[in-house]
């Protein structure tokens, strides 16, 4: 039995299979998930698990070189934006219109759906290379 890191077998498998520049999405309860993209649904109740809790867990197990958020996060969920900026200080953070963000999710290896019920609490994480 695995004793540390991501215990969710679906997430653990996705992270293990990522190659350089592959992406995953951490999404709030409302983000549409494109057909054909693996959906890992963690939502239990509104707010649980939270966006931050989920991002923290994934970031501890994934080498991340780039972040993409929706531009609308700046005006509609500045708390989440500040969290992302602080969490990934020094990492390339790109903002794009929400409609483009949704298009980018079509290339993701998986969308991890949280219970977060705040607007635009979504992020695309691009895998980097970890050489230890």
Q: Count the alpha carbons within 13 Å of 107 in the hemisphere toward its beta carbon.
A: 12
The whole-angstrom separation of Cα 45 and Cα 47 is 6
Give the C-alpha distances (Å, rounded to integers) separating 10 from 1, 6, 34, 95. Answer: 15, 9, 18, 28
The answer to whether 83 is a known ligand-binding residue is no
The answer to whether 10 is a known ligand-binding residue is no
Whether residue 20 lies in the annotated active site: yes
The Cβ of residue 109 has, within 10 Å, a number of other Cβ atoms equal to 16
The answer to whether 127 is a known ligand-binding residue is no
The answer to whether 8 is a known ligand-binding residue is no
The answer to whether 56 is a known ligand-binding residue is no
Residue in 13, 17, 20, 56 annotated catalytic: 20
Burial class, 129, CB count within 10 angstroms (exposed 0-12 / middle 13-18 / buried 19+): exposed
Please work out, in degrees rounded to the nearest 5, the angle formed at the alpha carbon of residue 90 by the alpha carbons of 86 and 95: 75
Binding-site residue numbers for substrate are 28, 98, 120-122
Residues annotated catalytic, as ranges? 20
Binding-site residue numbers are 28, 98, 120-122
């Amino acid at each position: 039995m695995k004793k540390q890191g991501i215990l969710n077998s679906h997430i653990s498998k996705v992270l293990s299979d990522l190659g350089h520049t592959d992406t995953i999405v951490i999404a709030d309860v409302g983000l549409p998930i494109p057909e054909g993209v693996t959906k890992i649904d963690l939502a239990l109740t509104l707010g649980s698990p939270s966006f931050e809790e989920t991002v923290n867990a994934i970031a501890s197990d994934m080498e991340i070189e780039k972040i993409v958020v929706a531009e609308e996060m700046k005006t509609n969920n500045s708390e989440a934006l500040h969290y992302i900026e602080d969490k990934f200080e020094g990492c390339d953070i790109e903002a794009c219109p929400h409609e483009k963000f949704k298009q980018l999710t079509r290339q993701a290896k998986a969308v991890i759906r949280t219970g977060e019920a705040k607007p635009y609490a979504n992020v695309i994480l691009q895998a980097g290379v970890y050489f230890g």
